[in-house]
Amino acid sequence: MTIRHHVSEELLYEYAAGRLGETWSVAIATHLALCPECRMRERLFDSVGGNILDASAPATMAHGSLDACMALIEANGSQEPAHSQRTTETPARPVFPEPLRGYAGGDLDTVPWSKVGGGVRQKIISAGTDATASCRLLYITPGQAVPEHGHRGLELTLVLAGSFSDGDATFARGDLEIADEEVEHTPIAGMDGPCICLAVTDAPLRFKSWLPRLAQRFIKI
Amino acid sequence: MPPSSDQNRQSWEELLILVAEIQSHDAFAQLYRHFAPRLKSYLMRGGASDSLAEDVAQEAMATAWRKAALFDPAKANVSTWLFTIARNLRIDRIRRESRPEPDPNDPAFVPEPLPSPDRVITAQQNADIIQHALADLPDTQREAVMLSFFEEASHAAIAERLQVPLGTVKSRIRLGLRSLGQRVNCESYGVDP
């Protein structure tokens, strides 16, 4: 598997700095599970943090700070071993890597899909208390075009199975598409099985033709 | 400077290994005296009050004690490792969110390809390369890159502080990060920019 579409420098830096919201971070961390190259880039940005520690002027610690820390250590009990046992049941060959599998509540075969029309199904995923973005799994029938849509903000789409193409570019397992408000795109699912994606947006998708029509039908105009 | 600059003393890595292997209180105290005040300083720059930063710094050092056996000098030097502990605690205790991370023991995790022997680079070398790469950035880019590391410093706040337009801040950060990435690829991994 060769990943061709990676996390941008800006998003990776925000993730390393600990500034990126939890919902966005699910997509980034799941890409990292599949992409050794981006993990290497992330370690580099982590070491910016190490550098900041080295260069920072030491703050004054409270009186008895070390003793208080030692008391915390005594209260917490023993050290963790270098290798810990896995405690949860894991499928032999999961489609969803961790951390996504935990957030989704299981692997692909357990997803309770809802139809949204046009050969597309979805499952909304919640990521803690972070309300800055919405996160969903998408199931797109082979060969199906997702209606052209623009964005009011950022959209991250991570492919987990199958593929889609968008203009000249093809996205397969592990590839991350980053689209901002300037991009209006028409992804088309490949013929190699259903395309399963994780999509994170900071605004509702703005379909050019499809949802408005659905809404119109609903209110019977 | 790490104590290794003095040949009679041990490096931070050696001290941390003593904490893991023989639960040395003395080694831990040396690490604490150096790093706890810096962790507290980092947390305060991120917007925490003095007392909250004190508590989280203590908790970070207690976590370091508990996880000392998990420290892998091939992946990070001690400063970077402690930073990642404090960062994750800050997300948990101050932002009240979790930090999703990949799990190397997960069967779906794609492991690193084995590096060729001439490309093996230590975490300390990586940290040194980053330090030099940061120092070599144009001042305006380095300033924007460093400020944007902290949560309180939104891009808009940075623009106001530096008295430049928002677009300028964004492009300085983008250019700065790109040249850091290229520099490290080039020096660490022999990849052409």
Bridge partners for A176 per DSSP: A158
B37 vs A58: CB contact, 8 Å cut-off? yes
pLDDT computed for residue A200 by the predictor: 92
pLDDT band for position A91 (cuts 50, 70, 90):
confident
Round to whole Å and give the CA distance between B62 and A71. 9
- Closest Cβ opposite residue A10 in set B32, B66, B177: B177
B36 vs A70: CB contact, 8 Å cut-off? no
Both tokens assigned to B54: 């004190």
Give which of A63, A40, A43 is closest to A51, Cα–Cα: A43
Cβ pair B83, B130 in contact under 8 A: no
A128 vs B69: CB contact, 8 Å cut-off? no
> Which residues of chain A are within 8 Å of residue B66 when distances are taken between CB atoms?
73, 76, 78-80
Round to whole Å and give the CA distance between B108 and A162. 16
Sign of the torsion formed by the C-alpha atoms of A68, A69, A72 and A78: negative
pLDDT band for position B94 (cuts 50, 70, 90):
confident
pLDDT computed for residue A219 by the predictor: 43
Count CB-CB contacts under 10 A for residue B43.
26
Least confident of A120-124, B9-13, B70-74, B187-191: B187-191
pLDDT band for position B91 (cuts 50, 70, 90):
very high
pLDDT, one tens digit per residue, over A100-115 is 999 999 999 999 999 8
pLDDT, one tens digit per residue, over B8-58 is 578 999 999 999 999 999 999 999 999 999 999 999 988 899 999 999 999
Cβ pair A43, B74 in contact under 8 A: no
pLDDT computed for residue A221 by the predictor: 32
pLDDT computed for residue A217 by the predictor: 45
**What is the distance in angstroms between the Cα of A221 and the nearest Cα belonging to chain B?**
43
**Rg of chain B taking only CA atoms, in angstroms:** 19
Torsion of the alpha carbons at A35, A40, A42 and A46, rounded to the nearest 10: 150
pLDDT band for position B6 (cuts 50, 70, 90):
low
ipTM of the complex: 0.89
pLDDT, one tens digit per residue, over A166-216 is 888 999 999 999 988 777 777 899 999 999 999 998 755 444 544 544 544
Least confident of B2-11, B99-108, B124-133, B161-170: B2-11
Round to whole Å and give the CA distance between B74 and B77. 8
Q: What is the mean pLDDT of chain B?
A: 86
Coil vs helix vs strand at A88 = coil
> CB of B114 within 8 Å of any CB in chain A?
no
pLDDT computed for residue A97 by the predictor: 97
CB pairs under 8 A between A and B: 220
Task: Tell me the pTM.
Answer: 0.88
> CB of B22 within 8 Å of any CB in chain A?
no
Both tokens assigned to A198: 């994780």
Q: Are strands A195-201 and A155-161 parallel, antiparallel or unpaired?
A: antiparallel
Coil vs helix vs strand at B190 = coil
B62 vs A47: CB contact, 8 Å cut-off? no
Both tokens assigned to A60: 């004054």
pLDDT computed for residue A138 by the predictor: 93
B55: DSSP letter: H
